[in-house]
Amino acid sequence: MKKLTLQTAAFRYLEQSYSQWLDILGYAPSTVRSFPTYVREFLHYMEQNGYTQIQQIDIPLIRTYYNELSQRGNQRRGGGLSNNYLNTHLNALDRLLEYLRKQARIEIPSTGIPKETPNPEEVIPLTLDQVKQLYAAVNTCAEAHEENHPRSDRQAIQLRDKAILAVFYNCGLRRTEGEQLNLSDIHYDTRLLEVKKGKGGKPRFVPITLSTVAHLQNYHYEGRSILVKKSNEDAFFLNYRGERANGSLFNNRLKELQKYADDADLRQMHLHLHILRHSIATHLLYQGMSLENVAQFLGHYSLESTQIYTHLVEKVYG
């Protein structure tokens, strides 16, 4: 529905300011792009039904809109809209109401609309041995590409790959949190990694082990120094151009390491950064960490988000 245009100036401003608010709170770039699109669809629905004022937004109107949306066909693939799509749409509307409460001082409750049953997506965490396989694959991968890169570049890539695994597995960071990581966020003396803007703008400190410190310091002082181009660059992870690395680079490096892992099952997995986060949470619970501490470690708002990992522990280790 990206082609929908809003005629009401106040609605256009609301969509823009809502997007900026999400960005300031630290939501993932994909969320900052998609949620305003869902909100635009709702505002367009309002216009089509004669509503042109922000103050006219209320729960009965949203419920009527959502009921029509849930019965709408999928315009590209046919059939109905997926439950995951409907849930994401509903999340966007819930965040809009939160924005109106906090920024526009409009007293409006949450929608109260129950979430749809999510379409099943099997989560398979890595085993501890498979994590070790990924670390071991760093050296194997570098040797395989020996002819393609100078020795200094290979060293920088090796150290960066191990630091990537350390940040996204050992520290359990989200993709966006890893992208935003700066040199000043890593406190080697106290062995803490600072996440200044987690999901929803929530900051937290993540404890780091001695082995994690070693991986981060090795890259920081020996690998990053090869990649850096500007002395005032504060980004921790850098690409070949000496600029801040993005999530695509992290995922590409992870998939490259996967190819060289000495484990057939691991090589065939649908592997991405969030699997590393799933894996460390599962391993910590299995090793005896409390659900509350795992939730704090991951930066979850509530224990409900962490409950999934108790089921994964039972599934993998039960």
pLDDT for res 148 = 64
Integer Cα distance of 155 and 218 in angstroms = 10
Whether the CB-CB separation of 6 and 40 falls below 8 Å is answered with yes
pLDDT for res 279 = 94
Is residue 74 scored above 60 in pLDDT? no
Tell me which H or E stretch contains 314.
Answer: helix 308-317
Whether the CB-CB separation of 283 and 171 falls below 8 Å is answered with no
Amino acid sitting at position 130: Q
Q: Which of 162, 175, 277, 283 is catalytic?
A: 277
199 is catalytic: yes
Q: Which of 102, 259, 274, 311 is catalytic?
A: 274
pLDDT for res 146 = 65
Question: What is the β-pairing status of strands 186-187 and 192-195?
Answer: antiparallel
Whether the CB-CB separation of 95 and 22 falls below 8 Å is answered with yes
277 is catalytic: yes
Is residue 211 scored above 60 in pLDDT? yes
Average pLDDT over residues 93-111: 90
Tell me which H or E stretch contains 165.
Answer: helix 151-165
As a whole number of angstroms, the longest Cα–Cα distance in the chain is 67
Q: Which of 40, 89, 160, 174 is catalytic?
A: 174
List, for residues 228-248, the tens digit of each pLDDT value: 999 999 999 999 999 999 999
Q: Which of 169, 219, 260, 309 is catalytic?
A: 309
pLDDT for res 147 = 63
The reply to whether domains 9-103 and 128-317 share a CATH topology is no
Whether the CB-CB separation of 158 and 135 falls below 8 Å is answered with no
pLDDT for res 119 = 56
Is residue 318 scored above 60 in pLDDT? no
Among the listed residues 136, 212, 132, the one whose alpha carbon sits nearest the alpha carbon of residue 168: 212
pLDDT for res 65 = 93
Among the listed residues 94, 89, 110, the one whose alpha carbon sits nearest the alpha carbon of residue 38: 89
Residue 79 token pair: 């059939």
**By CB neighbour count within 10 A (0-12 exposed, 13-18 middle, 19+ buried), where does 281 fall?**
buried
Count the Cβ atoms, other than its own, within 10 Å of residue 84. 14
Among the listed residues 19, 24, 96, 103, the one whose alpha carbon sits nearest the alpha carbon of residue 59: 96
Tell me which H or E stretch contains 224.
Answer: helix 224-227
Fold classification of 9-103 (topology level): DNA polymerase; domain 1 (1.10.150)
Integer Cα distance of 216 and 165 in angstroms = 10
Is residue 304 scored above 80 in pLDDT? no
300 is catalytic: yes
Q: In what order do the strands lie in the sheet with 204-207?
A: 186-187, 192-195, 204-207
pLDDT for res 282 = 92
Among the listed residues 256, 275, 283, 298, the one whose alpha carbon sits nearest the alpha carbon of residue 161: 256
List, for residues 4-50, the tens digit of each pLDDT value: 889 999 999 999 999 999 999 888 777 888 899 999 999 999 999 99
Q: Match domain 128-317 to its CATH number in 1.10.1370.40, 2.30.29.30, 1.10.443.10, 3.50.50.60.
A: 1.10.443.10
Integer Cα distance of 214 and 221 in angstroms = 11
Helix 291-298 with 273-286: angle, nearest 10 deg? 160
Average pLDDT over residues 63-70: 90
HSE toward the beta carbon, residue 29, CA cutoff 13 A: 9
315 is catalytic: no
Is residue 55 scored above 70 in pLDDT? yes
The full set of domain ranges for the chain reads 9-103, 128-317
Averaged confidence pLDDT in the chain = 88
pLDDT for res 263 = 85
Whether the CB-CB separation of 181 and 167 falls below 8 Å is answered with yes
Structure-model confidence comparison of residues 255 and 317, the more confident one: 255
Q: Which of 40, 175, 199, 253 is catalytic?
A: 199
Amino acid sitting at position 83: N
List, for residues 124-176, the tens digit of each pLDDT value: 899 999 999 999 999 988 887 666 667 778 899 999 999 999 999 999 999 99
Whether the CB-CB separation of 106 and 55 falls below 8 Å is answered with yes
Whether the CB-CB separation of 173 and 156 falls below 8 Å is answered with no
pLDDT for res 77 = 39
* Residues whose CB falls within 8 Å of the CB of residue 145, separated by 6 or more in sequence, listed in order: 154
pLDDT bin (cut points 50, 70, 90) of residue 75 is very low
pLDDT for res 137 = 95
